[in-house]
Amino acid sequence: MAHRDAETRDTGTRDVVIAGAGIFGLAIAYAAIKSGMAVTVLEKARVGAGSSGGVLGALMPHMPARWNPKKEFQFQALLSLEDRIRQLEEETGLACQYRRCGRILPLTTPDKLEHHLERAEESRQCWRPEETGFSYTVEAAGSRSDWLSAAAAPFGIVYETLAARISPRAYLAALAEFVKKNGSLEEGVEVTGYDDESGTVHLAGGHEPIRTRQLVISGGFSAFDLIEKLTGERIGRGEKGQALLLEGAGLEDRPAIYCDGLYVVPHGDGTVAVGSTSDRHFQDDVPTPDRSRELIERATAFCPRLKGRAVLSEWAGIRPRCNKRDPLTGRLPGFRTTYAATGGFKISFGIAHLVADGMVAEMTGQPARHPLPATFRPEHHFGAT
């Protein structure tokens, strides 16, 4: 690492510039620095200004059915995240409020009961509970009704132990602290263009261009604008989400609930996150009172323990969603030094560290322990649909 730092000071050229300080951008910066690269992160607003700065923090697995490389990648990410978080906390002295909390899913019809009994059987092969310790089980009606209303789950519940939660803002703060200490992070600096051949990064607001060996575009929803400018192709869109943070004293050890399209996620600091909505059409990224009322009404209907709890804060943001749903990660087609990592939508926090490992492996020409799935690759996202 020392050699790279000296080389960068002498030539003014970074090993990698990352455009965007959300969860993907900061996770890639962390992994790149750990690999010995000289890293600069440029963020046009502030750390977590986009959808990464939310409050929900739900780290939830895919269903153990129709297993494929994408689900296996996410499974491996969720298995390994706890150790990565503990290492980051030791390196920075900052807590990320991670906990393996588990998750409850209500069974509302006989068909859903039958369906999830089959999923529970499949989980024995996909999740390998004897090896990993994580289970996916169906419990009878009335189970855990002191948390999820029995009326919301007339045919029982699923209780799985792989799901976890984290404070998104605390996790970002720890990553940002590491990057500041071991690389460079500049807020209020927007990347507007890039010359792939010369490695010249163009910046807004009169900032002088900078040089890099590689650029990673990782600015959430706004990354699609820069990617389109460089490639001529629009491969994603934004969807607005809204969530609430409620007073949650006494609920810290409860599992997450997913019911009626909403998550209820208790956090270790005595708060409970509720969310989030998903609106393809939106005017801005500001929370709306009607949506907040809707969230409270829906959540308290299946989780009565939330009734009467004070709303501490409201959040809204525009989440990046690729047209082909899966994240975009890797070198852009036809480019030599231009990469992208965006479009994680609802799963970014759970997979960001493994995406970062795969991206850094690609940039350094090393084999990845867990290769990025084919559906994450740029070749899947660009070209004819």
The half-sphere exposure of 353 on its side-chain side, counting CA atoms within 13 A, is 20
Backbone angles phi, psi at 36, to 5 degrees: 100, 10
Q: Is 100 helix (H, G, I), strand (E, B) or coil?
A: coil
Tokens (6 digits) for 18: 């990352």
**Structural domain boundaries of the chain?**
2-53+169-236+324-381, 103-161
* CB atoms inside a 10 Å sphere around CB 297: 9
Q: What is the chain's Cα-based Rg?
A: 21
Rounded Cα–Cα distance for residues 161 and 163 (Å): 6
Lookup: tokens for 226: 């820069």
Helix (H) or strand (E) holding 105: strand 103-106
3-state secondary structure at position 103: strand
Structure-token pair, residue 10? 């002498």
Q: Which residue has the tokens 């890797």?
A: 330
pLDDT attached to residue 384: 56
Tokens of 130: 């004897």
Compute the residue count for the chain. 385
Q: What is the homologous superfamily of the domain 2-53+169-236+324-381 according to CATH?
A: FAD/NAD(P)-binding domain (3.50.50.60)
Nearest C-alpha neighbor of 167 from the set 98, 240, 262: 98
pLDDT at 350: 98
DSSP 283: S
The angle at the Cα of 14, spanning 379 to 73, to the nearest 5 degrees, equals: 35
pLDDT at 276: 87
Q: Over its length of 385 residues, how does the chain's per-residue pLDDT go in tens digits? A: 443 443 444 458 999 999 999 999 999 999 999 999 999 999 999 999 999 999 999 999 999 999 999 999 999 999 999 999 999 999 999 999 999 999 999 999 999 999 999 999 999 999 999 999 999 999 999 999 999 999 999 999 999 999 999 999 999 999 999 999 999 999 999 999 999 999 999 999 999 999 999 999 998 999 999 999 999 999 999 999 999 999 999 999 999 999 999 999 999 999 999 998 899 999 999 999 999 999 999 999 999 999 999 999 999 999 999 999 999 999 999 999 999 999 999 899 999 999 999 999 999 999 999 999 999 999 999 985 5
Query: Helices marked H in the chain — which ranges?
Result: 2-11, 23-34, 69-92, 110-126, 129-132, 168-182, 223-231, 289-302, 348-364, 378-381
Q: Please give the model's pTM, rounded to 2 decimal places.
A: 0.96
What gap in Å lies between CA 244 and CA 309, rounded to an integer? 11
Q: What angle do CA 131, 105, 256 make, to 5 degrees?
A: 80
